[in-house]
Amino acid sequence: MPQSTLDRTPLLATPLRASMEFLSQMWSLLGLLTILQNVLPTQLLSLLHSLWQSLQDSLTPYSYFDVPEFLGSAAVEPNALYRHVQLYLHRSLLLSSPPPPRLTLSLPRSAASAAPAPPPSVSLSPNHSVADTFNGHRAVWTHHADTLQDSLEERRSFSLRLPKRHAAAVLPAYLAHLAAAADHLERSSRARRLHTNAASPRGAAAWASVPFCHPATFDTLALDPALKARLLADLTAFAEGRDFYRRTGRPWKRGYLLHGPPGSGKSSLIAAMANHLRYDVFDLELTRVATNADLRALLIQTTNRSLIVIEDIDCSLHLTGDRGLASERLHKRRKLHAAAYDDDDDSSDSDGGGADNHRGKVTLSGLLNFTDGLWSCCGEERIIVFTTNHVDGIDPALLRPGRMDVHVRLDACGAHAMRELVQRYVGVGDHEMLDAAEDSIRDGAEMTPAEVGEVLLRNRDEPETAVTELAAELKARRNAADDLQWEDSAAELSDGSPTKKGRKGMGWEGKVRMLGRLRSLTKSESGRR
């Protein structure tokens, strides 16, 4: 037993003694450094420091890249790359398993009060590192936070460590990969807003906004599958088209014209487009904009990645059009409704007459200047959407090729869209009444998606009734359409005037009925002669 005691003493004493010796040597070195610091001139010290740094740099097998949060000597300009790294690390930190030992979780108060509150964001804690692998190379990110001397201010930065031998080859591709991932994350996580121009004719033109949370998506939208696929492909190509637009020297924007009867889904499609692209929506009420200057002020306040929507473009009263048909139309309308225009009304004063008198009002050229003139290049990634119920009422200047890139006609519900709505609203996929409803649509019955939705909504607890009622309504409309066509055809036959509607779309039952009625009409005509 004593042997073991004796044996144990040197075992314990040796490392202790070694540590003590090491500490005392370090202490002496520190003392020497302090003395040198006081004795040596500052210039010599900084020279020694940089020599030491260079020696370290030449010996280390790594290259280091600093990414400060702010740029410039005053450090006031935000560094976009810092934001990219933050977002990129956020994503990779969430995916990494096991996660780094220390992370910072945060949820701003404004976000916490939203319903539902978003999940807290995760970031790398200051002075901690996380490793990433790219194309087989190991990259290590460290988050630095240094408090400035004599100040509470904190300077934050990331540093990236890459193997020195591969750094030059890896860095550009790695930064591009990082920017793309950050961009994707930003798109999918950012809270979006719906803006509208405030009604202040005399005040400065400004937008007011609320959170945008419209539930319509391309999944909930009942559309012809070919149209849906075309729209999705076009929107995706647009959103991913930064390089294309740069290469071709075109402003990164696109114009959509949506036209169709009320309830055909124009507003729903706009919401679905905004949700698909994760864009903000700027709903521009033109009748509230006093002048072209105000219009320009509003439009330059719109942000990138946004949909700028002007609904019912044909009804925007002051969009008087200083070219083409629009001014003519307004002039005619004014003549027709002369009594309705008060002479003292300043809209009447400044608009009446012709192109030169539109100064001080919003004109078509004022709008076009932003959609495809010089101002079109301010900002990036914007889609301008015009809607109308009457495409014929739109100034041809707006329809010229290259102006509105995509024209979308939304119409009465097709058979496919009707079935989709029925499935979604009442969960019925197969039913003889649905076949009958489909026949009626093929034979010319017209109901907008809003009308179909209305029938289904009021019977949503009774699917059988919903489908029967829908089929009956469509049949009634088909018969009404047949009657209308019969009247047209009869009129054509009796006075020879061509009718608007042809026989296209008339059901076989209708055709039989119409033939019978035409025969009796011809008989009575010949009897009279």
Q: Which residues bind ligand ATP (CB under 6 A)?
A: 221-223, 260, 262-268, 389, 421, 449-450, 453
**Tokens coding 29:** 């070195």
Q: At closest approach, how far in Å is the CB of 439 from ligand ATP?
A: 21
Helix (H, G, I), strand (E, B) or coil at 107: coil
Asked if 290 and 319 count as a contact pair (C-beta separation under 8 A), the reply is no
Q: At closest approach, how far in Å is the CB of 260 from ligand ATP?
A: 6
**Closest listed residue to residue 346, CA positions, set 361, 333, 332, 334:** 361
DSSP annotation of 374: G
Q: Which is nearer to ligand ATP, 214 or 511 (CB)?
A: 214
Q: Which is nearer to ligand ATP, 221 or 467 (CB)?
A: 221
Q: At closest approach, how far in Å is the CB of 450 from ligand ATP?
A: 3
Q: Which is nearer to ligand ATP, 182 or 258 (CB)?
A: 258
**Tokens coding 429:** 């996929």
Q: At closest approach, how far in Å is the CB of 460 from ligand ATP?
A: 13
Q: Which is nearer to ligand ATP, 470 or 506 (CB)?
A: 470
Q: Which is nearer to ligand ATP, 265 or 444 (CB)?
A: 265
**Closest listed residue to residue 327, CA positions, set 296, 290, 356, 360:** 356
Cα 65 from chain centroid (whole Å)? 34
Q: Which is nearer to ligand ATP, 419 or 477 (CB)?
A: 419
Q: Which class for 527: exposed (0-12), middle (13-18), buried (19 or more C-beta within 10 A)?
A: exposed
* Overall size of the chain counted in residues: 529
Q: At closest approach, how far in Å is the CB of 278 from ligand ATP?
A: 20
The residues pairing with 159 across neighbouring beta strands, listed in sequence order, are: 66, 142
Residue with tokens 């990645």: 305
Q: Which is nearer to ligand ATP, 100 or 263 (CB)?
A: 263
Helix (H, G, I), strand (E, B) or coil at 129: strand
Q: At closest approach, how far in Å is the CB of 104 from ligand ATP?
A: 42
Q: Which is nearer to ligand ATP, 124 or 385 (CB)?
A: 385
DSSP annotation of 343: T
**Closest listed residue to residue 63, CA positions, set 144, 170, 156:** 170
> Phi and psi for 160 in degrees, rounded to 5?
-110, 130
User: What's the order of all strands across the beta sheet hosting 207-211?
Assistant: 207-211, 193-197, 280-283, 306-310, 382-388, 253-259, 406-409
The residues pairing with 408 across neighbouring beta strands, listed in sequence order, are: 258
Q: Which is nearer to ligand ATP, 262 or 396 (CB)?
A: 262
> What would the 3-class secondary structure string for 227-287 be?
HHHHHHHHHHHHHCCHHHHHHHCCCCEEEEEEECCCCCCHHHHHHHHHHHHCCEEEECCHH
Q: Which is nearer to ligand ATP, 162 or 383 (CB)?
A: 383
Dihedral sign for Cα atoms in the order 245, 250, 251, 256: negative
**Closest listed residue to residue 215, CA positions, set 155, 158, 276:** 276
Q: Which is nearer to ligand ATP, 424 or 523 (CB)?
A: 424
Q: Give the contacts of 284 (CB within 8 A, at least 6 positions apart).
A: 196, 197, 298, 299, 308, 309, 310
Q: At closest approach, how far in Å is the CB of 191 from ligand ATP?
A: 23
DSSP annotation of 124: E
Instruction: Report the distance separating Cα 487 and Cα 243, nearest Å.
Output: 57
Q: At closest approach, how far in Å is the CB of 408 from ligand ATP?
A: 11
Q: At closest approach, how far in Å is the CB of 455 from ligand ATP?
A: 12
Q: At closest approach, how far in Å is the CB of 114 from ligand ATP?
A: 24
**Closest listed residue to residue 333, CA positions, set 315, 357, 306, 313:** 315
Q: At closest approach, how far in Å is the CB of 265 from ligand ATP?
A: 3
Q: At closest approach, how far in Å is the CB of 155 from ligand ATP?
A: 50
Q: Which is nearer to ligand ATP, 175 or 450 (CB)?
A: 450
Residue of minimal Cβ distance to ligand ATP:
265
Q: Which is nearer to ligand ATP, 26 or 457 (CB)?
A: 457
**Tokens coding 72:** 């410039």
How many C-alpha atoms does 342 have within 13 Å on its Cβ side? 4
Q: At closest approach, how far in Å is the CB of 416 from ligand ATP?
A: 11
Asked if 460 and 425 count as a contact pair (C-beta separation under 8 A), the reply is yes
